[in-house]
Amino acid sequence: MASEQQTVADDESRFLISDLCTMLESYLEQEQIQEVYRAYLFGAEAHEGQHRLSGEPYIYHPIEAARILGELGMDHKSIIAAILHDVIEDTGIAKDQIEAEFGNEVAELVDGVSKLTQIEFASQAEAQAENFRKMILAMVRDIRVILVKLADRLHNMRTLDVIRPDKRRRIARETLEIYAPIANRLGINSLRVELEDLGFSALYPLRYKVLEKAVREARGHRKEVLKKIETSIKRRMRQEKLAGRILSREKHLYSLYRKIRDKTLSFDDIYDVYAFRIVVDRVDTCYRALGVMHNLYKPVPGKFKDYIAIPKANGYQSLHTILFGPYGVPIEVQIRTEEMDKVAESGVAAHWLYKSGDASMDQMHAGAREWLRELLEMQKHAGNPVEFLENVKIDLFPDAVYVFTPAGEIMKLPHGATLVDFAYAVHTDVGNTCIAAKVDRQLVPLRTRLLNGQTVEIVTAEGAHPSPAWLSFVVSAKARSNIRHYQKNLKQEDAVGLGRRMLDRALGAFDADADSISRKQLSALLKEYSLRSFDDLLVEVGMGRRPAVLVARYLVPADQTGIEAGQGEAVMRPLVIKGTEGLVTHFAKCCRPIPGDPVIGIITKGRGMVIHTETCRNLSEHKHPPENCLDVQWEPGVDEEFPVEISAVVADRRGMLATVAATIGDCDANIENVGIEERDGLTNTLMFTITVHNRKHLAEVMRRVRSIPSVIRIMRLRN
């Protein structure tokens, strides 16, 4: 009986490899297909007697992984590596045996995919991180390593139902956090979509079923509208004598789920969007088709993206626009060439499938290699594999922002990138020595997040060093790894010397020096900071844990700082801004910051530290040296009231002032001042200075006032 089952299994595996070889005949040479079949015989013998948890012979899995690569059109050595990818890890076959049979190239690919099975790790996370680090190093030598691994992971995800739930969830989370983003970063859309949906269904099975049912039910109601829009597009394209394929698209489930989750929208808001793809022959036809679409339906302002002129980091190219369609429904349209469509689906795999010498493909492949080189640099700076893996996860976020250098060069940065991220993207030395930055010629804080189209200039200074505080706002893995690398390599004596220079410079701003510091003041400060010696204090300053200007303010007698000690409540106010111990703080009346606002501190003679919002227009007027501008944060759990100004445009009706004032009072906000401005005889503007606890409290006040029927508009006043 056992022999009969084995015979059936052998016949089935021969059918699978025969089916694979038939598929490979469409693009591989006969000799190469024979090599693939020989690899199957080698792998089948190595895995003899081994079975998967599903009960099927183990060799089924490598064949299916090879089929996935065959569908991408990968070269025969990648197919062979996929068939043999588990023999080192799960059988007695060594790397040199594979090299002897199939050559060094295949052996290196198989070894790059194999896990580190001979080393004991302290935790699952450490093992995962170290295995990933090893694979990245192999990827740098040959990018096909990750393609084999993605094929392996995809087939594992397709057969995930047989393993226990806790392990299934762990593998699904790893797929969504690492492998699907890598497929996206390499531009392999076909793999990314399936990995994401399979990971979603395994990690959140109930949410997947609910969303799948909602899509299935809503799909029927859309057919008529989709058909009408598609007919209109085809008719207009024919009128303009433009040839092309028009395809309706549907967002895959994980993409829908992520939008619903991240943007807190309902399913109807997300799914009520009609998406089409127009595929044409040439690039200039893409732009002509765009003009046709904008004439057929009105475009939504600010929703056009040109990824042809500025491709995504993974090489993706297309024109994206959103239109006002019939019945008021939005229409998403992608316009691209046939070549771009192939690259969008296959990504770097197109390098092997379409050997046309196309410059865009070569550029995309070069871009992938550049990314791998950046990963290698991060790996060198990372303290351990776990930290490296976290940096890679940060780097895999697909969204990007495009800004310009002063010379007009376009720089790609991850979504949410700050000026420090930009500085490190230019060059590591620029990031390490940056002290200030200008956006569109205006001086702004280093923590400022960048927007598309801005021109950025970094100001550097010899002897400047990265601040550990930057880690709280940088988003790129390169910036994070370099800052941490500097911190780890800053020796004690270097920190003391740097701290002394920084403190001397800060004391100079108060017309003081180290010799003028009294022993009593120094002892009090060391006690306050729980430090043993002056050198320990200098280390704290040099490492960036204590701002030099605040330490200097504490050490200098009040009559020397020019700051009046008796400035009422400012001195007595409990600490609400982190790191301002011993320093008088004021809140700027021009922008009236409240807890929750991103803020920056300006050190001034005579007033101590003045807190502004980061978007305050008056910041550009301050000519303070960069060292007097400090990135500050609110203390958590601040329980105070802060004044803020709001303006409400209301209909000119009797009792409106009393109604709005009563509503504000009901929200536990105190009114300090009221002003009324008549506008056109039909409306009035009511201006209030109120006190609130934080931005959430202010938002609640504004929401309640906005709900009053006669209130037309309400806004927060700044500057």
Q: pLDDT digit string (tens) for 635-691?
A: 777 778 889 999 999 888 888 888 998 899 888 888 888 888 877 778 889 999 999
Kindly state whether residues 372 and 316 are assigned to the same domain.
no
Reported confidence tier of residue 83, pLDDT bands at 50, 70, 90: very high
Q: 495: which 2 tokens?
A: 């920190």
Cβ neighbours for 501, distance < 8 A, ≥ 6 positions apart: 463
Three-state DSSP at 297 gives coil
Q: 604: which 2 tokens?
A: 């001034």
Lowest mean pLDDT among 165-179, 388-402, 430-444, 490-504: 388-402
Kindly state whether residues 476 and 498 are assigned to the same domain.
no
- Given 98, 129, 158, the domain boundary residue is 158
Q: 695: which 2 tokens?
A: 């931005």
Closest CA to 347 of 320, 365, 374, 334: 365
Three-state DSSP at 159 gives coil
Alpha-carbon span 185 to 179, nearest angstrom: 10
Are 380 and 360 in contact, with CB atoms under 8 Å apart?
Answer: no
The CA dihedral of 538, 541, 544, 547, to the nearest 10 degrees, is 180
Kindly state whether residues 437 and 514 are assigned to the same domain.
no
Does residue 366 register a pLDDT over 80? Answer: no
Closest CA to 581 of 519, 527, 535, 629: 527
Kindly state whether residues 409 and 458 are assigned to the same domain.
yes
Kindly state whether residues 311 and 211 are assigned to the same domain.
yes
Q: 339: which 2 tokens?
A: 């070549």
The structure tokens 């759990």 sit at: 637
Helices (H), 605-694: 656-666
pTM of the model: 0.57
Reported confidence tier of residue 573, pLDDT bands at 50, 70, 90: very low
Alpha-carbon span 235 to 503, nearest angstrom: 73
Average pLDDT over residues 542-571: 58
Most confident of 71-75, 559-563, 582-586: 71-75
Kindly state whether residues 456 and 554 are assigned to the same domain.
no
Average pLDDT over residues 542-553: 71
Kindly state whether residues 50 and 151 are assigned to the same domain.
yes
**pLDDT (0 to 100) of residue 285:** 93
Asked if residue 510 is part of any domain, the answer here is yes
Does residue 353 register a pLDDT over 70? Answer: no
Alpha-carbon span 472 to 494, nearest angstrom: 23
Asked if residue 168 is part of any domain, the answer here is no
Kindly state whether residues 334 and 392 are assigned to the same domain.
no
Which residues span the domain enclosing 475? 365-489
Question: 99-130: per-residue pLDDT in tens?
Answer: 999 999 899 888 878 754 444 444 566 666 66
| 559 carries an active-site annotation | no
Three-state DSSP at 579 gives coil
Cβ neighbours for 316, distance < 8 A, ≥ 6 positions apart: 187, 307, 340, 343, 344
Cβ neighbours for 16, distance < 8 A, ≥ 6 positions apart: 60, 63, 64, 67
Question: Mean pLDDT, the chain, as a whole number?
Answer: 79
Number of structural domains, the chain?
A: 5
Asked if residue 636 is part of any domain, the answer here is no
Q: Which of 56, 71, 89, 272 is catalytic?
A: 89
Q: Is the model more confident about 452 or about 8?
A: 452
Kindly state whether residues 244 and 105 are assigned to the same domain.
no
Asked if residue 537 is part of any domain, the answer here is yes
Are 81 and 110 in contact, with CB atoms under 8 Å apart?
Answer: yes
Alpha-carbon span 241 to 131, nearest angstrom: 55
Kindly state whether residues 648 and 612 are assigned to the same domain.
no
Reported confidence tier of residue 79, pLDDT bands at 50, 70, 90: very high
Asked if residue 448 is part of any domain, the answer here is yes
Alpha-carbon span 445 to 612, nearest angstrom: 11
Kindly state whether residues 111 and 124 are assigned to the same domain.
yes
Closest CA to 334 of 295, 278, 400: 278
Average pLDDT over residues 22-42: 91
**pLDDT (0 to 100) of residue 116:** 41
CA dihedral for 443, 447, 451, 454, sign (positive or negative):
positive
Closest CA to 702 of 661, 664, 674, 676: 664
The CA dihedral of 283, 288, 290, 293, to the nearest 10 degrees, is -150
Most confident of 351-360, 361-370, 679-688, 702-711: 702-711
- Given 433, 461, 489, the domain boundary residue is 489
Reported confidence tier of residue 382, pLDDT bands at 50, 70, 90: low
Closest CA to 487 of 503, 498, 476: 498
Write the CATH number for 451.
3.10.20.30
Reported confidence tier of residue 577, pLDDT bands at 50, 70, 90: low
Asked if residue 612 is part of any domain, the answer here is yes
| 89 carries an active-site annotation | yes
Q: Which of 71, 90, 177, 250 is catalytic?
A: 90
Lowest mean pLDDT among 46-50, 88-92, 336-340, 511-515: 511-515
Asked if residue 539 is part of any domain, the answer here is yes
Longest Cα–Cα distance of the chain, Å, equals 99
Kindly state whether residues 420 and 508 are assigned to the same domain.
no
Asked if residue 200 is part of any domain, the answer here is no
- Given 566, 600, 631, the domain boundary residue is 631
